[in-house]
Structure 1
């Protein structure tokens, strides 16, 4: 990757569009939401390539509430983040609602990247665990997950990067 350091500022900026176009051509990302798209791609690929994990396939574009479906029919919402908060989950009852909550998915797959978008960890939460850890995002009027040490310790780790010393 040293070749990047030799690019002019103009060429470096132009390379961003080229990389995005190639990621789309390879169907690694589908939109301009690069972090979430990369998270979806990595989560689905990891599940398909790892013995003992359910095989997943991407949900059709614009499918509400879910990003992937297992071969057994389980629904997965996939969230990726480079920070301590995920993007939001729409379509759920607001705080204080007396309406019964309809289950939108069976699992959340949480893909954690470092600030340079290098994969750190993948965790899986059940619907019940999602409800325990969800937090109201008042500005977005929807729920999100705050990535806490407690949540990570109490949910299923399906991948964790291990530094080789």
Structure 2
């Protein structure tokens, strides 16, 4: 399981690095075509928006994995012992439930609806359902990471004397 988790973490990191590279190249091309060639590219603004969506939402999952979200340990940092572990497990469970209900379930419904309605973007002609796929994907990652954190908290709890 740890090896699979390392592969997922590395893949997410690589995907974010590639998306960041793509947005830098896209915005650079937009600036070059606008100010140097004086004929702005027609697709770069829309592509930058789509890349920003993917970076922001997948970046949230990556930040969650690193426990870098503000306030996730606000309560547990002030507690010690068994109480801190119970509150920590409850917090991870709430994150799991939110991600499963809103991001995975709601995100999949959004993706399927926009694909069914054949909604496409104006400049690129990309189906919007593909753009919205970032939401359920990130939700799945957050659910996975929540389960990992819950398992770690239970493992840590088992090893400590009560």
Report the TM-score, using the length of structure 2 for normalisation. 0.23
Larger relative contact order (C-alpha < 8 A, sep ≥ 6)?
2
Report which of the two has the higher share of helix: 2
Report the TM-score, using the length of structure 1 for normalisation. 0.23
Report which of the two has the higher share of strand: 1
Name which one, 1 or 2, has greater alpha-carbon Rg: 2
